[in-house]
Structure formats: C-alpha cells, structure tokens
Amino acid sequence: MAVVNASAQAPHAPSFPDIRIRKATMEDADRFLALVDALAAYEKLAPPDADARARLVADAFGPAPRIEAFLAEHRGTPAAYAIVFPTYSSFLALPTLYLEDIFVLPAFRGKKVGLALFLALATLAKQRGCGRMEWTVLDWNRLAIDFYARLGASHMREWQLHRMTREDLDALPDLPLL
C-alpha cells in the first residue's frame, strides 16, 4: 500500500494533513512491537513473549509474510498500527480483508488517527477487490463499538465467534491429509 495522506485522496475525502499511513517495514519492527505492547497494556493482557515477538516480526516482514502491518504517524510520531490479512468468502466468491488489530495510542485519540488508518485500510480492501472487510470488537470496548457504528459498520449478531487455543488443538487426535 502506498503512503496515504490527504493530498493523495479523492477531492471529497476528509483531510488529514498531520497523519501519514504507510505499510510497516522491517526497519519499523521495534516501533511495531512497542505498539503491540501498548495494545496489550490497554487490554490488560500480558505482552507477547520473546518467541511471539520473533514470530510477529517474521510473519509481518519475513520472506513469506502471513500478515501485513501498517503504521499511522501523527506529525512523524508513531501513533497507531493495524494488522490485516486476507480471508475468503465462498458465497461472495471474493476475498475479505480481515482486520486483526487496530490500535491508537491514547495520546493520539481524538486527532483522527484511527479514522485515517481505518479509511486507508478500507481503501486497500476496495483496491484489492474485496467483497467485505471484517473484524471483531471486545464487548467492553465501547469507544471502538461507537466508532465503528458511526462509520456504518454492522454488528453481526447472528454470527458468534468461536475459538480453539493451541492447547485445545493439541488435545484433538491428528488426522493427516492424504
């Protein structure tokens, strides 16, 4: 994704002169990990351990990336990040851009950093021919829920997220593919 700023957007697009959105690179690994740590602190979770941090860097910036990381800078200071990856809808027969994380440091909230980052990712989804963009929101995160509602996002009440941890998967019997 190219660098996005107000001058590169359509005439009707909002203006974000202090914000720069760009794809993160290996040189941004420390900044990226610091933002992931800040999200963990915000959610009152333990940050990724050393092994997880190495996997994040490899999965974002290695030779076979599994995720894409984006940074939002406010006046040159890293202010937010997002992680996305493609999924696929068999019924639309189109890709979906899945937004795993989007996080704005508290000091930069209210400065339109999250809006600029989200709009840049929505533009990326359109450019890639995605039929939709999806993400999950923690039920206690009223700030995020209200933000997405203002943008017109739908809460899919009929779909319930289910999860198996690695430990759950390890407890299942193996049945290799033929």
Indicate which residues carry an active-site annotation.
Answer: 148
DSSP bridge pairs for 74: 19, 77
Contact 113, 15 (CB under 8 A): no
Burial class (CB in 10 A: 0-12, 13-18, 19+), 127: exposed
Please count the other Cβ atoms lying within 10 Å of the Cβ belonging to residue 5. Answer: 17
Q: Greatest CA span in the chain, whole angstroms?
A: 56
Contact 81, 28 (CB under 8 A): no
Show Cβ contacts of residue 147 under 8 Å, excluding neighbours closer than 6 positions: 114, 115
Contact 114, 104 (CB under 8 A): yes
